Amino acid sequence: MSKVCQITGKRPRVGNNVSKSNNRTKRKFYPNLHQKKFYLPEEDKWINIKICSSALKSINRDGISAVIKKAKAKGTLNI
């Protein structure tokens, strides 16, 4: 399963590990993903989505319906 947030579209980013002697080796920075289950009252069903912590905060702030509508318009969510 891919490590991509279904709401924001966040993906792993590539960077460097930098040692004390300034040697650089490649590494990845992964988004903080969680598998969550939400209830959509308009459609009267439960959905499972993989979201990052920042998307969870926006759901708490704006509501699940508004966030799902934005994600579908953006093209990151396909349910």
Angle between helices 53-62 and 64-74 (to 10 degrees): 120
pLDDT value of residue 78? 81
pLDDT value of residue 32? 96
In a domain, 31, yes or no: yes
Residue 1 has pLDDT above 70, yes or no: no
Give the span between the Cα atoms of 6 and 64, in whole angstroms: 13
CATH number of the domain residue 54 falls in:
2.30.170.40
In a domain, 62, yes or no: yes
> What is the number of domains present in the chain?
1
Residue 16 has pLDDT above 90, yes or no: yes
In a domain, 1, yes or no: no
Print the domain residue range for 67.
13-74
User: What is the DSSP pairing of strand 13-18 with strand 24-29?
Assistant: antiparallel
> pTM of the predicted model, to two decimals?
0.84
Please give the mean pLDDT across all residues of the chain. 94
In a domain, 8, yes or no: no
pLDDT tens digits, 23-76: 999 999 999 999 999 999 999 999 999 999 999 999 999 999 999 999 999 998
